[in-house]
Amino acid sequence: MTLNINDSLTGAISQALKELYGIEQQPADVVLQETRRDFKGDSTLVVFPYVKQARKSPEAVAAEIGEAVKKALPEVSGYNVIKGFLNFEIADSYWLKFLAETAGKPLYGIVKSDANTAPVVVEYSSPNTNKPLHLGHIRNNLLGWSVSQLLAAAGANVKKVNLVNDRGIHICKSMLALVGKYYVEFDKHYKDDVKRLMESGVEEEQAKREAPLMVEAQQMLKRWEEGDKEVRSLWEKMNGWVYAGFDETYNRLGVGFDKVYYESQTYLLGKELVQKGLDMGVLFRKEDGSVWCDLTGDGLDQKLLLRKDGTSVYMTQDLGTALLRHNDFGAERLIYVVGNEQDYHFKVLKLILGKLGFSWAEKVYHLSYGMVELPNGKMKSREGTVVDADDLIDEMEKTAEEMSREHGKNDDLSDEERKHLYHILALGALKYFILKVDPTKNMLFNPAESIDFNGNTGPFIQYTHARIRSIVRKAGDLGEVSYEQVELNEKERGVLKVLHSLPDTIVAAANAYSPAMIANYAYDLAKSFNSFYQDTPILREENAQVKAMRVSLCAAVAEDLKTTMNILGIEVPERM
């Protein structure tokens, strides 16, 4: 007996279609759905697609397939037909064997990756060294890390990389203002310069280019690219401060990388590619000396690749980084976790790489995600309305402590254990609240809602895990007790069905690059368990077989919650 009943069902259905109606359909193409809650059953086949070829009514087709499958599979205890919906009922013996042999085993649902296969390279974070990491970076880092974990759980050989934006006009702006936190001040003074020029009769676009601060920043960038010792010395000093801060924040968030790239080390390769494009005739130089790619034939516009003074732009260095990364890893996929405001940028990147003759350009995938907003509106770096990542984590830990004390969830813990608990609850709240949202959607982050111990939150799932672990500890060693003849109730079967769906959920979530699907699974499992827990005695159960089964079910739920929350980068506590 296979321990994935869906594989057995699709195989038996495929055979029945062939024998009954001469319909050739591969098992992989047979679509099963979870049975609706108002119907009796576990898996449902919609038979309408087969009615025309079968030349019978939907009810007749469903009944004939149902009877054939029931005869073929002892795991199917019965079936019922509601119009064109064939609902299969799975025997308790299957669910109990699944629990005994598979459910709750360490890493159940995880596919072991093969280090010898071509890797999937996931780039995330990509901070600028002119400003601290903020809430927007947090979503990026958490999404990149969890997508990497998710792809690895589905069997991919994943390499996590970071590209630090450590050079460019934005860095020179900060250097002019001395340190990164004064980037906001640069923008204010720059806007004043533009305003004065416009008041003197200069057009807005010209004023933006000719504002004294912008001219000075552009000159500094040119000096940097020429290797000016004074400019380079200031640049190295400032970046040294920033890198230390980045590492501290990454450590607090629990994220990391297999390799870090720096734009200062890739932009020259990008310039070489621009020259290659000029030699090939796929790029062109304007009269002022700037270099462009004409993408009008692709439905876009002309894209600047080198400024008239010879300095590079973001696209230049992204071309160089893409080539370097491909050469480093021979990647099967190059995934960029970058906000949706850069959708156009990555369309252009793929097109230019293709025009330069790189066949692997199609392997570039932009995992575009929505913006994070706060209850008081959108964050803007230049206007100083961002939420600093470390400040947010501090605030979350403080709130976690207050909520824990209020609910009396830490009375029997030592001071050190309490501190650790507040930290993992804070990060669990933060990570889960962000990751439960579909990556493509904009989201509103509400710290107070995220740390609630009830509802669809990280702390709710963490508390559920701690409660289960307490039950299992109190149960102790029950010895060798068989529960093959136990009759399951509806709540027990409901929990087992959720557990059973984990492998398919991981594969579907990995294919969609969606940690939200894993978060929703964990919440559904926690809800299903709590419904079972409220209605069903566990430690007070007198029947030894039933008690053993229920304790095993608890342990399986705890293990699956640990597995799924780990994919999200969330630690679950053993006690609260």
What CATH number is attached to the domain comprising 39? 3.30.1360.70
Share of the chain above pLDDT 70, in %: 88
The verdict on 278 and 318 lying in the same domain is yes
Domain boundary among 90, 111, 132: 90
Cα–Cα dist 311/28, whole Å: 53
146 and 84 housed in the same domain: no
- Provide the percentage of residues in the chain whose pLDDT is more than 90: 63
**Mean predicted lDDT score pLDDT of the chain:** 87
Give the per-residue pLDDT at 381. Answer: 43
111: phi then psi, degrees, rounded to nearest 5: -95, 125
Residue 250, CA atoms < 13 Å, CB-side half-sphere: 18
Same domain? 80 vs 130: no
**Res 574 pLDDT > 50:** yes
Q: What is the C-alpha to C-alpha distance for residues 272 and 316, in angstroms, rounded to an integer?
A: 9
Considering the domain architecture, whether residues 309 and 366 belong to the same structural domain is answered as yes
Q: Which residue has the higher pLDDT, 286 or 446?
A: 286
Task: Tell me how far apart the alpha carbons of residues 382 and 86 are, in angstroms, rounded to a whole number.
Answer: 59
- Which residue in 468, 525, 537 sits closest to 108, CA to CA? 525
Q: What is the pLDDT of residue 386?
A: 61
- Domain ends where: 90, 115, 141? 90
Residues 343, 203, single domain; the answer is yes
Beta strands 443-444 and 372-374 are: parallel
51 conformational bin, left if phi > 0, alpha if psi -120 to 50, beta if neither: alpha
pLDDT for residue 480? 79
**Is the same domain home to 147 and 265?**
yes
**Given this model, what pLDDT does residue 2 score?**
43
Q: Is residue 109 part of a domain?
A: no
Domain count, the chain: 3
392 falls within a domain: no
Task: Report yes or no on 102 lying in a domain.
Answer: no
Is residue 247, in this structure, part of any structural domain at all? yes
Positive/negative CA dihedral, 327, 329, 332, 334: negative
- CA torsion 93→98→99→100, rounded to 10°? 90
CA distance 539 to 542: 8
What distance in Å separates the CA atoms of residue 318 and residue 161, rounded to the nearest whole number? 14
Q: Do residue 420 and residue 362 come from a single domain?
A: no
| E strand spans, 203-290 | 259-262, 284-285
SS (H, E, C) 71-138: HHCCCEEEEEEECCEEEEEECHHHHHHHHHHCCCCCCCCCECCCCCCCCEEEECCCCECCCCCEHHHH
Give the per-residue pLDDT at 278. 97
pLDDT over threshold 80, residue 199: no
**C-alpha 123, offset from chain centre:** 12
Q: Determine the angle formed by the axes of helices 544-567 and 490-500, rounding to 10 degrees.
A: 40
Task: Examine the domain organization and report whether 54 and 166 are in the same domain.
Answer: no
Same structural domain for residues 356 and 268? Answer: yes
pLDDT in tens, 345-402: 999 999 999 999 999 999 999 999 998 887 764 444 444 456 778 888 888 888 888 8
What is the domain extent for residue 20? 5-90
Q: What predicted TM-score, i.e. pTM, was given to this entire model?
A: 0.85
User: 236: domain CATH number?
Assistant: 3.40.50.620
CA separation, residue 125 to residues 153, 354, 386, 509 (Å): 21, 25, 16, 21
pLDDT band at 69 (very low <50, low <70, confident <90, very high): very high
Measure the CA–CA gap between 193 and 211, rounded to whole angstroms: 5
Kindly indicate the confidence band of residue 183, based on its pLDDT and cuts at 50, 70 and 90: very low
**Same domain for 139 and 81:** no
Q: What burial letters (b/e) apply to 386-413, b meaning 16+ CB within 10 Å?
A: bbbbeebbeebbebbbebbeeeebbeeb
β-strand pairing of 158-164 with 120-123: parallel
DSSP code per residue over 12-42? HHHHHHHHHH-----GGG--EEEPPTTSS-S
User: Is 98 a domain residue?
Assistant: no
HSE-up of 407 (CA within 13 Å, CB side)? 15
363, 378, 393: which is the final residue of a domain? 378
pLDDT at position 360:
95
Same domain for 130 and 82? no
Report the pLDDT value the prediction gives residue 403, as an integer from 0 to 100.
79
